[in-house]
Amino acid sequence: MLTILPLTGEAINPYIDALAQLRIDVFREYPYLYDGEMEYERRYLQTFGQAPDSLLVVVLDGEAVVGASTALPLEWETPNIRQPLEEGGYDVKKTFYFGESVLQQAYRGRGLGVRFFEERERWARQLGRFDTLAFCAVVRPEKHPLRPEAYRPLDDFWHRRGFTPTDMHCFISWRGLQEEEESSKTLRFWVKSI
C-alpha cells in the first residue's frame, strides 16, 4: 500500500538521501538526461529542509521512497531561477515555486502526479500569502537524438492543472549523460494564478 506524506521543514531531513538517489535515477531519463552525483543532490535538497514553508510530498511503498515532489517560496530559490520571474513582473514574496516531481517508472499512471500538484497548491493556498504558482521545465528540440520514440511531453498534463507556458526562461547547468562536463540547459517557466 502506498503512503503519501506531506512534510515541511526539518521533517524533510530523514528523506534526503533517498530523495537524492531518486532524483539521480529519474532524471537520467529523457528529457533531463542528467548524470547526477549524490553530494550535489544532498546539498541541493538541504535547501528544502532549511527554507521556511517549504514542502516535500513523499510517496512510500512500505518504507521505500518511490516518489517525491518539492516546493518552496520563490524567495528561497537560487538567483538564476528568481531573476527571470522578477524581471517578468512577478513578486518573489508572493510566488510559490514548484521544484521537481520524480516518480519511479512502475508507479506512474496511478494519479500520483496529479496528487503532487494538488498537495503543493493546497499548501501554497494554506500559507495564504501567495498569488502565483510557478515551475520550469527543460526545453529540448523535437528532433533530439536521445528522444525516445514513445516520449510524450507533459504540456497537456500541466495545462489540465491550470498552468500556462510563458516566454520566460532560466538556465541551469548540469552534466548530461553524453557530456564530459556541465553545460547550460534552457528551462521554460509555467505559471498559474491562485
CA-to-CA distance for 47 and 35, rounded, in angstroms?
21
The CATH fold of domain 2-193: Aminopeptidase (3.40.630)
Task: Give the position of cell 518552496.
Answer: 72
Domain boundaries, the chain: 2-193
CA-to-CA distance for 53 and 145, rounded, in angstroms?
40
Give the torsion through C-alpha atoms of 8, 65, 160, 176, to 10 deg.
100
Predicted TM-score (pTM) of this structure:
0.94
Q: What is the pLDDT of residues 81-138, one digit of tens each?
A: 999 999 999 999 999 999 999 999 999 999 999 999 999 999 999 999 999 999 999 9
Average pLDDT (18-25) is 94
